[in-house]
Structure 1
Amino acid sequence: MSFGGQTPTIIVLKEGTDTSQGKGQILSNINACLAVQATIKSTLGPYGGDLLMVDANGRQTITNDGATVMKLLDIVHPAARILVDIARSQDAEVGDGTTSVVVLAGEILKEVREHVEQGLSSQVIIKGLRRASDMAVNKINEIAVSTQEGSRRETLCKLAATAMTSKLIKRNSDFFTQMVVDAVLSLDQGDLNEKLIGIKKIPGGSLTDSLFVNGVAFKKTFSYAGFEQQPKSFDKPKIVCLNVELELKAEKDNAEVRVEQVSEYQAIVDAEWQIIFKKLEAIYETGAKVVLSKLPIGDLATQYFADRDLFCAGRVAGEDMERVVQATGATIQSTCSDIKSEHLGACDRFDERQIGGERFNFFEGCSEAKTCTLVLRGGAEQFIAEVERSLHDAIMIVKRAIRHTAIVGGGGACEMEISAYLHRFADKNIPHKQQAVIKSFAKALEIIPRQLCDNAGFDATDILNKLRVDHRKGSTWAGVDFTNEGVTDMMEMFVWEPSLVKINAIQAATEATCLILSVDETIMNEESAQPQAPGKALPPGAAQRALRGRGRGLPRR
């Protein structure tokens, strides 16, 4: 409908809403992602640096773990947050390669930016990237080497050592490699639940003072009077695990009782004592020497057990109790009246030991052991926290390698081989627009060996030229040699990675890139105070409106 030949203006969005769209929006999103990539790419590889990150509360974190860095970065740009998601997905699915996936996604965006600027449809670019990704994954599956069953432990050690080369603990990788492989092999091989690997951090000592406990170790719980009289070590003890509170409750806590004579009051008090003594006697008669409970064990029960040479610990953390159950074969009981022998757990040795400034309870030599504990030592809390993150990556790599036996060479060898393959394929088989997109994807893969060289202080251009020549001649596993600053065979150097790491990284990076390229319009609500791109100023009055909005209890975006 027209009014006097003019179409009326229809306002759909709220006043103050900021919109931007088109090619400029896509380029803005790409630039935001490149800013994130520039922050994290210096941490890649064995000679990558660490980032010192300080949050709003002044808490410090020193790390080069990609997932941790991305989680701690306070990224406000909506498109750049997608890189945080792919780092988390890589960490959850594989456990390693979190930095690689962000660097790779950023480089793919950088390479296709030129096509966007020239006006090539983003849908054509997306189609080409997906095709290149599928070809890359197929190539990895084709060249991957299947490890032999006989040398399983040796292979797992090599994979764990490769995962540690870029971490703080690389100097002690031989020590921690054995620890990580022992830890994963101690789990139930059916589900390989890495959460059953307990990690305890105790400041003090050196890295090599760290312990592997084939069983359970946890910090001494809160104790009452009588605890010091209890024995602190047993050989082959029976263990009972409870979810029962063993404390004497005063009558005023539970009910109001009216009495007329002192004898009636005394009968009530005696009844309460009888209730707890019956529980304690029932536990003692089971023959158990170690009593653990998720709930408090009071001073009366503590003294009762001490008089009978039993050890008890109350308020045991839920995850520690679960690992004790897995290790000793015990069953958690919610009552003391019907505890049978099959409900008890057992281990070869229980004792309480001093480690650093803490006392720990150790359950070792467990027959049912489907769990273990790593006790980490080190000079500073931040250092031990980074060691824990490093071991998590190695544990996840070993866990995946047990189920997926295919491996590829590290050090940029796999990426260079795929890059060379895609270049050859695009030249021969793809004559139209997608050829340029696939070649851009192939060039983007070279960022991994290039950044490895840059972070190590090598001449990246010279080494990449050598790698291109070697891969053209058929040297599938030629990669960056960090020892002699050159090129060498990664398989012979035992720089191995599970093929799953590479496949997941390429797929996640491609998905993120396609998602970012498909967004050509952003609509930001009035109360949102987030800029569209790093360094871009907010519209006049937007910050004030955002602050007013939050004051009224409106959602913060």
Structure 2
Amino acid sequence: MSQFLQPTILLLREGTDTSQGRAQIVSNINAVQAVADVVKSTLGPRGMDKMIQTGPKVTISNDGATILNLLEVVHPAARVLVDIAKSQDDEVGDGTTSTTLLAAELLKEAKPFIEEGIHPQIVIQGYRKALELALEKLEGFSINIAKDSAQDKRDTLLKCAQTALNSKLLANTKHFFSELVVSAVEKLDPNILDRDLIGIKNVTGGSVTDSFLVDGVAFKKTFSYAGFEQQPKRFENPKICLLNLELELKSEKENAEIRIEKPEEYQSIVDAEWALIYEKLEIIVKAGAQIVLSKLPIGDLATQYFADRNIFCAGRVAQEDLLRVQKATGGQVQTTVNGLNPETFGTCGLFEEVQVGAERYNLFKNCPQSRTATIVLRGGAEQFIQEAERSLNDAIMIVRRCFKANKIVAGGGAIELEISRFLRHYARSVTGKTQYIVNSYAKALEVIPRTIAENAGLNSIEIMNKLRQKHAQGDEEGRWYGVDINGASGVCDTHSSFVWEPTLVKRNALCSATEAACAILSIDETVKNPKSDQDTKMKPKGQPGRPPMGMRR
């Protein structure tokens, strides 16, 4: 009988946890749904905030990417939602919660198909076909603003910024901050629109409406030595010298090795060190610099030297601030003082050091090559200012994308309902399982307006019935109807109400959510291979998996 027994074949390490089949897909869908339920209540203008405590730090936010990142999700399938939220935030800056909810809803709609035995690849194929049709229709519904006048286009950008701020902490002051955001983006090079050239500086204290925009660069006063108080704090049309050079006496000692044979020679070494630092300082002064900024430290000797000659200096300037000063003033960062001349200097209309709250700030205003701007953000609590900064970042990203794309659609769930109506109509023209899957995709799109209505305290069933009726008319007027959180009826023409969003945000959200749903549906097995404690101890540093000498077999 032994010749008929099959030998045991062990492919995986003993203790390895494996899950596979239909139950694995359903388990992944349930995990994704649990994560989406956490951020669901944050969607829309009346969305709620989440307080997340990580050690001593407390974060209050309703930004989907921020919340998911702080949750530290460990489930491998649910981590996909975190990744798509981050990609949405990096790409367009807004719509992270919508993307997360849409992906979870697509999986929720696919769950009955999986449980009934339909192969996941058929669902994936149907979803991708629905996405292709949705993107095609989205482009057809988009409104091109490229041919609008400069003033009309600016008004559109203001409306898009206000729509982005509607669901944020700054919703009550959206008109004030939308003006700051659009003005800041307008300072950038229109061909590049580099986000890093818009600085946001947080200053605790005062009202949020005390925030202001600096047409140029502003940064907090850096660490300074004695003698700084004697330096002038205001210049008109100054010559600005930008350095990546340390102006400290100790640097000469640390960068050289000198051997002496007689004690008398030590004094000559000290004199040489002083001569070197004074030579550098003298070259800077003779070149005509009035403001000296350096990424590296400027010591007490140099600080007093510049103060005696009415020159302002600041050392340890942050890299991003120095880069923005370079862009705004037209200066060039030098790594040596040799060859220093006025052509390498930058300039600005006005430099001054002012008191902002409890901090001192250096302001460079009216720069000739102003391709940068700084928003000085005020507020009471630190958590409030941090959330306000995240809100402004979303609005800035939206305005940048609108600058480039020049296409907008109506928000408030209007475009999702219109695409949903189109997909339902298309589903009637096909047969088989594809009809049900495309219908499910159309139904999943309704999660956006439904959730907006629920979070605003409205009757979501009544609102959805009204919106379906409006969109079913199929005319130009009913196309843009979405959720109205302020009106008595609960629905309105969101295009006429100036609730606008860039088309790029919706396109990226649809693509990311569908790709995430298809990726999770295609996973039918999860293998968890625990690391052995013995193997972990045996691994020497720098050589993972290789036993140390003396322990090899």
Q: Bigger shift: 323-332 or 298-307? A: 298-307
1:473 alignment partner AA: Q
Aligned 1:335-414 pairs, distance under 5 A: 335-414=336-415
Partner of 2:262: 260
2:493 maps to 1:489:
yes
Q: What percentage of residue pairs aligned between the two structures are identical?
A: 54
- For residue 83 of structure 2, the aligned residue among 61, 76, 85 is 85
Distance 1:157-1:250 versus aligned 2 partners, 3 A rule: closer
Aligned CA distance change for structure 1 residues 288 and 513 (closer, same or farther; 3 Å): same
Give, in angstroms, the shift of residue 300 of structure 1: 1.3
Q: Distance in 2 between matches of 1:526 and 1:267?
A: 65
CA displacement 1:472-497 (0-9 Å, x = unmatched): 10211010111114211111000000
| Separation in structure 2 between the aligned mates of residue 487 and residue 299 of structure 1, nearest angstrom | 66
Q: Which amino acid aligns with 2:442?
A: A
Residue 101 of structure 1 aligns to a residue in which SS? helix
The aligned counterpart of 1:279 is 280
| Cα separation, partners in 2 of 1:195 and 1:414, compared to 1, 3 Å | same
Counterpart position of 1:530: none
Q: State the 1:70 CA deviation.
A: 1.0
Contact 2:134–2:419 at 8 Å: present in 1 too? yes
Whole-angstrom distance in 1 between the partners of 2:424 and 2:535: 53
Amino acid at match of 1:15: E
Gaps in structure 1 of 5+ consecutive residues:
528-544
Contact 2:248–2:298, Cα closer than 8 Å, also in 1: yes
Q: Determine the C-alpha separation between the residues in 2 that align with 1:100 and 1:261.
A: 75
Q: Name the structure 1 match of 2:482.
A: 479
* Pairwise CA distance, 1:257: 3.3
Aligned to 1:351, the other structure's residue is in SS state strand
Decide which moves more: 487-496 or 140-149: 140-149
1:236–1:348 Cα contact (<8 Å) kept = yes
Aligned to 1:532: none
**What's 1:448 paired with?**
448
Tell me the CA shift for residue 266 of structure 1. Answer: 3.4
Task: Output one character per residue of 1:481-522: Cα deviation in whole Å (capped at 9) or x when no partner.
Answer: 111142111110000001111111111111011110110111
Distance 1:213 1:433 in 2: 58
CA shift for structure 1 position 549: 7.5
Helix, strand or coil at the partner of 2:250: coil
2:441 is equivalent to residue 437 of structure 1: no
Separation of aligned partners in 2, 1:327 and 1:552: 55
Mapped contact 1:15–1:526 kept (Cα < 8 A): no
Classify the secondary structure of the residue corresponding to 1:246.
coil
Contact preservation (8 Å) 1:467, 1:478: yes
In structure 1, the partner of 2:38 is 39
Once the two structures are superposed, what CA deviation does each residue of 1:440-461 show, in whole Å capped at 9, x if it has no partner?
A: 0100100101000110010000
Q: Which amino acid aligns with 1:41?
A: K
Distance 1:395 1:446 in 2: 28
* Count of aligned pairs between the two proteins: 534
Question: What code does the residue aligned with 2:453 have?
Answer: C
Which deviations, in whole Å up to 9, do the C-alpha atoms of 1:55-104 show, x marking residues without a partner? 1x231100000110111112111111000111011111111000000000
CA distance in 2, matches of 1:298, 1:312: 10
Q: Secondary structure at the match of 1:42?
A: helix
Distance 2:158 2:346 in 1: 32
Q: Which amino acid aligns with 1:93?
A: E
1:224 Cα deviation from its structure 2 partner: 1.1
Q: Judge conservation of contact 1:466–1:487 (CA < 8 Å) in 2.
A: yes
The whole-number CA distance in structure 2 between the counterparts of 1:250 and 1:186 is 39
Root-mean-square deviation (CA, aligned residues, Å) is 1.8
Structure 2 Cα separation of the partners of residues 74 and 306 of structure 1:
50
* Structure 1 equivalent of residue 551 of structure 2: none
Contact kept? 1:463, 1:487, Cα under 8 Å? yes
Instruction: Answer with 2-11 or 516-525: which moved more.
Output: 2-11
- TM-score between both structures, scaled by the size of structure 2: 0.94
Cα separation, 2, equivalents of 1:258 and 1:125: 81
Residues 1:12 and 1:491: Cα distance change in structure 2 (over 3 Å)? same
Contact map agreement 1:259 1:265 (CA 8 A) in 2: no
CA contact (8 A) 1:205 1:379 kept: yes
How far the C-alpha of 1:388 sits from its partner, in A, is 0.5
Tell whether 2:59 aligns with 1:61. yes
- Distance, in Å, in 2 between the alignment partners of 1:34 and 1:250 is 58
Alignment partner for residue 117 of structure 2, among 104, 116, 119?
Answer: 119
Which aligned pairs between 1:20-35 and structure 2 lie closer than 5 A? 20-35=19-34
Please show how residues 286-305 of structure 1 align to structure 2 within 5 Å.
286-305=287-306
Is this contact kept in 2: 1:90–1:504, CA < 8 A? yes
Does structure 2 conserve the Cα–Cα contact (< 8 Å) formed by 1:43 and 1:49? yes
- Are the equivalent residues in 2 in contact too, given 1:353–1:361 (CA < 8 A)? yes
Question: 1:135 maps to what in 2?
Answer: 133
Q: Deviation of residue 261 (structure 1)?
A: 6.3
Structure 2 CA distance for aligned equivalents of residues 242 and 272 of structure 1: 20
Indicate yes or no: 2:104 matched with 1:103: no
Once the two structures are superposed, the pairs formed by residues 149-548 of structure 1 within 5 Å of their partners are 149-150=148-149, 151-249=152-250, 253=254, 254-260=256-262, 262=264, 264-427=265-428, 429-474=429-474, 475-485=478-488, 486-527=490-531
Secondary structure (helix, strand or coil) at the match of 2:334 reads: coil
Change (3 A) 1:299 1:45: same
AA matched with 2:281 = L
Shift of 1:341: 1.5
| 3-state SS of 2:19 partner | strand
Quote the offset at 1:467 in angstroms.
0.5
Give 1:268 shift: 2.8
**Alpha-carbon distance between aligned partners in 1 of 2:453 and 2:195, rounded to the nearest angstrom:** 33
Deviation at 1:8, TM superposition (A): 2.1
Offset, 1:271? 2.2
**Partners of 2:507 and 2:252 in 1: how far apart?**
64
How far is 1:250 from its partner? 8.1
Question: Retained in 2: the 8 A contact 1:481–1:488?
Answer: yes
AA of the residue aligned to 1:179: L
Secondary structure, counterpart of 2:249 in structure 1:
coil
Tell me the equivalent position of 1:74: 72
Residue type of the alignment partner of 1:271: A
Structure 2 unaligned blocks of 5 or more: 545-553
